[in-house]
Structure 1
Amino acid sequence: MVRRNRTKERARAGSSPAPGSAPDGPAGDAPAPRRGAPRRPPSGARWVTDVEGARVLAAHLLTPGRPWPVVAISVAAGHDAPYVDLDGLLEEVSGLAEVVVLPTGDASWAFSAVMPPSTQVYGGAARVYPVDHEWVGLPRRSKLRFAYSDADARRLHDHLTHDTLTAALSAGLLGTSHDPDAPRVEGTVRSILGPRAFVTLDDDSLASIAEELTVPGVSLARLLVVGQRVAGTLDRESRRLDVRGALLVPDGATPPGEDTHLGGYAVGQVVLADVTAVAPATVHLRLVPGLEVVVPRDDVTGNPADELTDLFTVGEVVLARVVSTAPWRLRLDDVDDDSDSDDAPVLAPSLLDGGPPWLVLPDLSRPAPPRSLPVLPPLRLPELPPEAGSVEGPPTEMLTEAPAEVLTDAEPGTAEPGPSAEGGLRRRTPLDLIANAPRRDAPAAPSRGALRDMSLALEASRTRARTLEADLAAATAEVGLLRAAAQATAVELGGLRLRAAELDRDLAEALTRAENFRTRYRKADLSRQQLKKAEKAASHGGPAPDDGAVFLDPVEQFRFEVQLAWVRRVPAAEKASKPLAPYALGDRFLPSLATIEGVSRAKVVDVVVEVLTGDAEHIAGRELHPLRVNEGGSSPAVVREDGATCWRASLQSKRASARRLHYWKRGDRIELSRVVLHDDVEP
């Protein structure tokens, strides 16, 4: 169906005013703006149909100082309107960009001749030209959006809207910088549909949040949830809600980490990060938007032959351990991302108050489902007549009599078979001759000439009927053949779609296998590095944590192991701020450590160091909590006569009979009590 383009109808003037003096409509000159009034782009689309107008448009785009973006939309050859709905696009970008339509022809060739290579637009495609001029040398800064038919109208509309909002945001045409008097409002998120969220404000009016006006490259589903309270400035004309002022991301003035909810991240914790860039020797990890950490290859893998481009992909979410927070430093070579590992990651922060964690680990155990294919209805073949000339009679609808006004205008008695009568809906019959014969008072017998004319007319009608019967039989046979061919094509198309679905499944499985191979390789490399460290320690004569070969006194041996673990785990820059708290060993601690099974002595020593330095309070996997007198959640904690409280820390998780560490704490002094199984609740 032909779409009516009212914008083009309003732009039939035939000439193209200069872009710098573009009117506020399709034709005519706009009145001069009042002094101090903000300049705004033209509200309508402007058609550039001549060579001179195309050259002026190119000069306008290439001249620095342009105040707003320009959306250039070309019209495909042989069409009189672009594929995108201009009226709908103008509603989306009103006040943010100038819209120019360029039909393919002499004007588009003149425009292409002036523009730098790879920055032109023609043949039905479109692009948005930002106000800065980076796109002149880097054409990908102004992405060319292709369209080939009306079926691409929705996709082209979404692309151009996204590019325009992004360019307008960079140009300062959105937010409080554009309208300092914009009201600050609050509301509740009601729905999230792709790149748009819809909010019911407290005054019961509606507003929308555009993904382009939040955090670049982060979808709204990672920022908002239905029912979340949001606040921001409202553009009263477009009803867009700008929530950037509430984003919990670095603002450039505050030291990274102090304004991003990362104050809860501590050294030794396992955190989530996404890959923003990867090179053979480095990988860039982003803890939150605006805070990236460059991780060298030595902190990822111990194999110098590994290229990180084979291990990571941009956009992938990975686990990393915090090594330092001032400055931020991460490493991946000692993180076990097995689901049964004790390295439980800390939840990623939300980028808006009340929002979801902005990063989550993907579920690699479930491959992506194949694309759903429509079910084609079965085609029925018509029953073909046995012979073209054996049809008993013409169809009923062919015998329906036409209205009287469609009869030929020939005089009575002149209707003879021939080419002149072929185009009529119904030829004259003997009844027509009788009806048009002169009437007398008394009926008269027809003359011999009249009988001859009646006989000729009747024979002509019979001949015509036989011809129509033959044509109908031939057409019916042709329709049957066409339907058979259509059914064969449908069967072939169904086979191709099934093959496409199989290929989609194969691709999803291949991607899953590749991701699993990367994970397995990283685990194997981690095991290799740990084994190498153990061999190196053995070659230097370093004491094994469990061999008791350094001190004969078990207490002195355990204290030595705790001190050694503290030296190795705490970086030099943080040793002054994380000393070991004063502690004592209870009478039953070392015997319980010697008799417990299923957990290594080194693991117990590491957790003791975390307790003594205070890191255990910030590690979710430790599940630190007071030991209570019974299983009730509100029951009191176990307190000793001297006022010390018994605490319980997890040594293991997600396994049967997980081991726990019990210790007494009074003030800043700690007494290690016992190493027990999960169900042992005795202090």
Structure 2
Amino acid sequence: MNADVSTPTQAEALAARILTPREHPLLLVSSTTDGEFLFDIDALRDELDGIAEVVTIETGPATKHLELLLPPKAQVFNGAARSYPVDFHADPDWHRSHLRFPNHADTGDLVDDAMAQTGRRTVQSAPAPRIRRAAGIVQGFFAHDTCAMVRLDDGTVVTATSALLPPDIPLAAALIPGERVSGILEGRELQPEPLDADLAAFVDGAHTLALVVKVTDLRATVQLHPRVSVILRRRDVDLAEGPVSDVLQVGDMIRVRVHRAPGHEVALSLADADPSAPLVPSLALVAGGAPWLGEGRPTEPKHEKTPTDAAEQPAAPAASTPVPTGDLATRADVSALAHEVAALRGDLLAVTNLVGRGGATASDGAELKRLRAENEQLRAKLADERAERAKVEASLSEASHDRREAGRALRDARRAAERAHVDPPAARIRFEIERTWGNRTAPGARARWPPREFTFGAAVLGPPPRGRAR
């Protein structure tokens, strides 16, 4: 299905429609990055016919441009959907337009949202769930670190999800066991709200923490926030300007000094960082959350369960430290191996809590050591595959050379065969002369420049071969 809005120009017209008075609510449904719609568009248009306007938008340049034109947190992308009330222009609060994700809502929920904004409901529709804000303490992770258990301030245990988080900020990086978090509470689901990367606190000369995500001999890439990367050159890492890889490793959490010149972007330095200087806390990734990096962060607290607690708390898999389990299967081709190595960089965000605790427990250190060893194994496999590819390319080059040589030998053999059928020598020489004339004279010029008559003297033909008469 083609989207109604697929270009930035169409996105501008859509933004104007959302932010102007309308007769009906506007239900906006986005596609996935593959262009698929996970909500039933036909069913939405059938049930909301004459009640709400259903518009589809393609995830990509159109959604990015729309995000710039709408109020904060009012955008839609990557399969999500939301309904904008008729008076959204007068009060553009994103809480009035509930964001729905396919894995947490269905087509009926979207119908309910649109009906609630018109004051009308179908027989099948149910009241929209009550939404409120709540805060609590993170207890731990489960379901492969895609969900977290949070005990609210009133003692209720709920599940935190990444419904409102962008794809590049996993839940395991945003939440820290034992620390507080707040968000939108919908039923028994807590949805932490992402925070923008505000670098105003990092003034010139300040010290803070950064996470190393990429290292070469010449430079390293560190992050103040999953969306803010800074390049460290050799002189920023080591005053002696030795190889950066001798000092830093991927996954290291380092203390850096901030350099900010007017009109320039933030720069960082490890070489002139003061180990005793006070640290500016690193940025929190979600509202009401703790800094995503921290020195000496305590391990996950152990909460003793009372009988009441045991009755309240739902059964769930045991909490685990946020260490991803990557796919380490050996790939046959080089491109897959390269992709697997690149994926490790994304997995680093999922272990930032482990790194941020700075070796709080022996088990955490062992997990980090294991991940580094696995990374080295992948690098070694990639090197082997590259060497194998080089051998294959060399074999292909040699085979191509042999093929060219065989073709050349075949042409020579054909010419020799042609010459062998031309006898005596005078006829053979005449044949070669006429063929040369034909090859070097354009077809249109042959009538103008015909070959001249010629004869062969005894000096040209020479004595006949022994045993053959003239």
More contact order relative to length (CA 8 Å, sep ≥ 6): 2
Shorter-chain TM range is: 0.3 to 0.5
Structure whose CA Rg is larger: 1
The alignment's TM-score, normalised by the length of structure 1, stands at 0.25
